[in-house]
Amino acid sequence: MIRTSLRNKFIILLLLISVLPFASSVLFTYLYTRDSLKDQFLQENVNLMSLGSVHLESYMNELMDITLSFYSDPAFINYLRTADRENDYETFWTVRDELTQVLYANENIRLVRIALLKDKRNILVSKSRVGFSAITDAQLAEYAKVDESPNHVYIETVPGAVQEGGVSGTAFTILRSLTDAPSTNLLAYFSIEVGPAMVRSISEKLYTPGQEYFSILTSEGEPVFSSDAGYEDPELVERIRGLPGDSGTLEWDGGGFRGIVLYERIAKTDGGWILMKSIPYENLYRQGFRITQINIAIGFVGIALAMLAALFFSFRLTSPLRILLDNIRRIEKGKMQVGFESLGHDEIGVLGESFRQMVGRLNHLIDREYKLEIENKANQLKVLQSQINPHFLHNALQSIGALALKNHGAQVYALVTNLSKIMRYSMNTDEDKVALIREINNAEAFLLLHKERFDDEFEYAIDVDAAVLNLPVPKMLLQPIIENYFKHGMDLSGGKVGMLRVDGRREGGELVLVVADNGRGIEPDRLRELYAQLHEDRRGRHGEEANIGLRSVYFRLRLYYGSRASLRLAEGETGGLRVTIRLPIENAAEGEGQ
């Protein structure tokens, strides 16, 4: 309906005229705006990340300078070189004073520890306590990481979150070895534990909560700060650690994240930390989406106005045509009544009035001609059947009477039974079509009567495929043809035995019935004359009764099937006449037969 309706075509045309330019404009605007905003947004974030790395590097540089402050105190270094110290008390207070100065050098330092290798002791100073303990093997293994790292500095995170000034985060430790410069003799290991406040303060200025993810990672990939704990994809972290250069961007799809990732590295001398910022695509293109939504909203208003105009004009133009179409469909279904008075005074109105007049004339013709023709054809069928019966009954009764005079036995009963079947079958005029098997049974009863009449002078055979026995055929189709043989074609001269054969089969979508005999046959001139009588519907020169059987069959075939059925006469292969009937097989009937 959508493809063929004039109204729908008109609406679709107007919509296409308005929608296509608008959709193209929105698409190009969105693509251009999206790419422009993406480049601008990324550049702003690259600048922001660069600034953040500078601040973080400056902060770490400050902490690194604090760890080197011991070298600015020659007395303390000389004290560490001394192999034999006077007593533990002096050692404790000398080291404690130095560590206390480092502790208060930066407000974010939470704890300072030194491992004196000669004394095999740890001395710890924090803002709440001072203590010392023996160096364990596990601590020595931890301190050994410093010797393996560049510049003899190693940074690691402190397990667990810490609270500092109302701020929760991850603290980190800077470990450094103290050597007897310029020699490489190891004097002690030194470490400071730094709280998360300053790192968090720098980080919070580098991302937008809820829209972006931000992390600061150690060179080993451990998070020092994370905007959303646990969001870091290990595969992504390893990918960034292996990338060359101090900064860059990459697209990433994995671990539940799809978007752009920016990264910056600070100097290795300051720890080699990595700043990583992840921006999802939906947030990256958010502003472009908003501009596109505004354009779409404006476009929808224009489309709505175009639809209203299209609907208004299409209904005004096509409503009369729809009324006319509905009435045409009613006529197709056999309801020969027009459901409108007038469709206006324009060209469509004139068309509607002409349609009303045409339907009126059709109704008149149907009442006057078509119904009368149907009645006449029904009467013709009954007349054709009544023309066949009297002649047959006359011959049948003669056969029965002759046999009754001779035998007075069971054969008489059989003949009378066959005769009653034939009479009952032929005299029932309420049936137009019957199953082929009934027609075959009637023909066989007819042939049996003639077999009794002619005895050994006549033989017959019936060969019909079982698959076609239930197909419908016009009633009294075979008997007139068989009767025509006994009236005009049977030849018993010279001791010849009469023979008649009935065959039935299916060929494609047709039922083929063949009645063949070995009688006198038919001359070519007579055959042409007979064909002319059949096709021209005229009487032969031999009178009203000539070939009435063939005529009745031919006209009934035309009545039921029109040009789809045929009746052909031809000379048999061994003489006589061969009558071939072809009927179209009806689908419903075919299913019943099978």
Residue 194's Cβ-count burial label (10 Å; 0-12, 13-18, 19+) is: buried
CATH code that applies to domain 68-198: 3.30.450.20
- Assess whether pLDDT exceeds 70 at residue 5: no
What is d(CA 189, CA 173) in angstroms, rounded to the nearest whole number?
13
pLDDT of 544: 43
Pick the most confident of 66-75, 252-261, 500-509: 500-509
Beta sheet of 274-280, edge-to-edge order: 223-226, 213-217, 274-280, 257-265, 247-254
Chain mean pLDDT for the chain: 79
Least confident of 131-145, 169-183, 527-541: 527-541
- Assess whether pLDDT exceeds 90 at residue 402: no
Compute the average pLDDT of residues 3-30.
Answer: 68
* Residues above pLDDT 70, as percent of the chain: 76
pLDDT of 86: 52
Written as one letter, the residue type at 15 is L
Compute the average pLDDT of residues 113-137.
Answer: 84
CA of residue 468 relative to chain centroid, distance:
44
* Residues above pLDDT 90, as percent of the chain: 14
Query: Using one digit for the tens of pLDDT, what is the confidence trace for 184-217?
Result: 788 888 889 998 888 888 998 998 888 889 999 9
Tokens 């023979």 sit at which residue? 499
Q: Per the confidence metrics, is the pTM higher than 0.75?
A: no
Query: If you ran DSSP here, which 8-state letter would residue 193 be given?
Result: E
- Assess whether pLDDT exceeds 90 at residue 462: yes
Least confident of 461-465, 491-495, 590-594: 590-594
Q: Show me where the domains of the chain are located.
A: 68-198, 433-593
- Assess whether pLDDT exceeds 90 at residue 496: no
Answer yes or no: same fold for 68-198 and 433-593.
Answer: no
DSSP 428-442: -TT-SEEEHHHHHHH
- Assess whether pLDDT exceeds 50 at residue 264: yes
- Assess whether pLDDT exceeds 70 at residue 561: yes
pLDDT of 6: 64
- Contact call for residues 283 and 211 (beta carbons, < 8 A): yes
Q: pLDDT class for 541, splitting at 50, 70, 90?
A: very low
CATH code that applies to domain 433-593: 3.30.565.10
Least confident of 139-148, 273-282, 477-486, 516-525: 139-148
Read off the tokens for 500. Answer: 């008649």
What is d(CA 177, CA 240) in angstroms, rounded to the nearest whole number?
29
- Contact call for residues 415 and 580 (beta carbons, < 8 A): no
pLDDT of 543: 43
Q: pLDDT class for 489, splitting at 50, 70, 90?
A: confident
Compute the average pLDDT of residues 425-447.
Answer: 85
Compute the average pLDDT of residues 531-555.
Answer: 64
pLDDT of 590: 41
pLDDT of 388: 53
